[in-house]
Amino acid sequence: MATNNVIVQKFGGSSLRTKELREKAVEHIKQSVDSGNKVVVVVSALGRKPDPYATDSLIDFLNGQAGEGVKDRELDLAVSCGEVISSALLTSLLNMDGYDAVALTGKQAGILTDNNYTNGTILDIDCSMINKYLDQNKIVVVAGFQGVSTDGETVTLGRGGSDTTATALASHLKADSAEIYTDVDGLMTVDPKIVPDAKPIKVITFYEVLQMARDGVKVIHPRAVEYAMRHSVPIYIKNIENSYDDEGTKITHNVARKQTKKSQIITGIGYLPKVTQITLDFESDCSQVIKVAVFNEIAKAKISLDMINVYENRLTFTVREANAKSTIELLKEGDFGDITKKTDCTKITLFGTGMTGLPGVMAKALDILNKEKIEVLQTTDSNITISCLIQGSDTERALRLLHEKFYL
């Protein structure tokens, strides 16, 4: 298959936090160039709070100085500087090692966004300047997380914005792949901080990663995955500490998995803590109109619901803990029915294309939890996911059990 020989490499803040890590980033870039690739690098701001140039540090500084006087327009202008500093520094390090590199802001890189300050969406990318420098055999280092609106304003892309910058550029440049460098060995079968036996996932589908990202796995942002999926650009999640040849986790369209007696029916497990379950009981003659009115009122308040179950005279759903109080107040104001809640819950989700069309997976999951007297409060499923709501105090035990019993 013909290749374009363009590789996009993205380095997050945790991968650029120290001098030693920045040297490792430079080595990965140089090895890709020495392998015959044209390289576009996307960078996040250096480090994490309280590092001085980290995004949260810049936000805190501005808010601490001006408080309510800080508007979203000026906030975007200020925090975009973190990535610009990062791109200038990494470019200088490459030039110092004899590799010809050039730094670009999001605007210079041609990234056009909407006018939604602090959470912009990429509308288009004009790659002409990037291509000009690539044709001159330069390494192009782009400040991630930012672009320019149709009005010429600096707009940032929200959390995970540098991931989105990387996969969007890879898509528009028709790159061979996008490499996302981080401080872990790729996507893991479960959170290794809870389950020490967690293993790196070698290959996984875009769809599985989308589900994982939306249900508690925080390695890559869903918007970044969607961009790559639409344009069929493979993504590699790599550990910056490992050798350049280590592929980490490959994210692609189709994955062939062998079916054996102890085959991995599921690919991984994610979890969302601090979830509140809300149940709304209606009068016995409840109509569909009332249920629709409930969902409309919640939607107007811009509250996201999850694990929705609709019954004849009852609605059950979950919300993040931060939205629980306002959701309950809204339901009381509407006088829709009797409200009950369960706080401090955790949503555990099993992912995997291996369960598609396979009967008995939910039964096995429930049996595993039931034998250990872990109460399941609610379930939902799709063709590649099974989710169970449990009490938060049972989270660690449930994750270890499911990881072991499903042969992960």
Check: CB of residue 17 under 8 Å from CB of residue 88: no
Q: How many residues does the chain have?
A: 408
Q: What is the C-alpha separation between 166 and 132, in angstroms, rounded?
A: 18
Please tell me whether 270 is known to bind a ligand.
no
Which pLDDT belongs to residue 260? Answer: 46
Please tell me whether 182 is known to bind a ligand.
yes
Query: What is the CATH number assigned to the segment(s) 268-405?
Result: 3.30.2130.10
Q: What is the pLDDT of residues 66-97, one digit of tens each?
A: 988 899 999 999 999 999 999 999 999 999 99
Please tell me whether 10 is known to bind a ligand.
yes
* pTM, two decimal places: 0.85
Please tell me whether 19 is known to bind a ligand.
no
Which pLDDT belongs to residue 3? Answer: 63
Element (H, E) at 398: helix 395-405
Which pLDDT belongs to residue 1? Answer: 42
Q: Which residues of the chain have pLDDT under 50?
A: 1-2, 259-261
Please tell me whether 183 is known to bind a ligand.
yes
* Domain ranges within the chain, ordered by starting residue: 6-252, 268-405
Which pLDDT belongs to residue 263? Answer: 57
Among residues 333, 299, 300, 335, the alpha carbon closest in space to that of 317 is found at 299
Please tell me whether 55 is known to bind a ligand.
yes
Burial of 36 (0-12, 13-18, 19+ CB in 10 A): exposed
Q: What is the C-alpha separation between 30 and 25, in angstroms, rounded?
A: 9
The CA-based angle 56-62-67, given to 5 degrees, is: 115
Which pLDDT belongs to residue 258? Answer: 53
Please tell me whether 13 is known to bind a ligand.
yes
The CA-based angle 170-13-137, given to 5 degrees, is: 40
Q: What is the C-alpha separation between 9 and 181, in angstroms, rounded?
A: 7
Q: What is the pLDDT of residues 273-323, one digit of tens each?
A: 999 999 999 887 778 888 899 999 999 998 999 999 998 889 999 999 999
CATH class of this structure's domain 6-252: alpha beta
DSSP-H helix ranges across 67-127: 72-96
Which pLDDT belongs to residue 261? Answer: 44
Check: CB of residue 62 under 8 Å from CB of residue 69: no
- Cis status of the peptide bond prior to 192, with omega within 30 of 0: no
DSSP-H helix ranges across 251-376: 288-300, 321-334, 361-371
Instruction: Give all strands of the β-sheet with 122-125 in edge-to-edge order.
Output: 122-125, 111-113, 146-149, 154-156
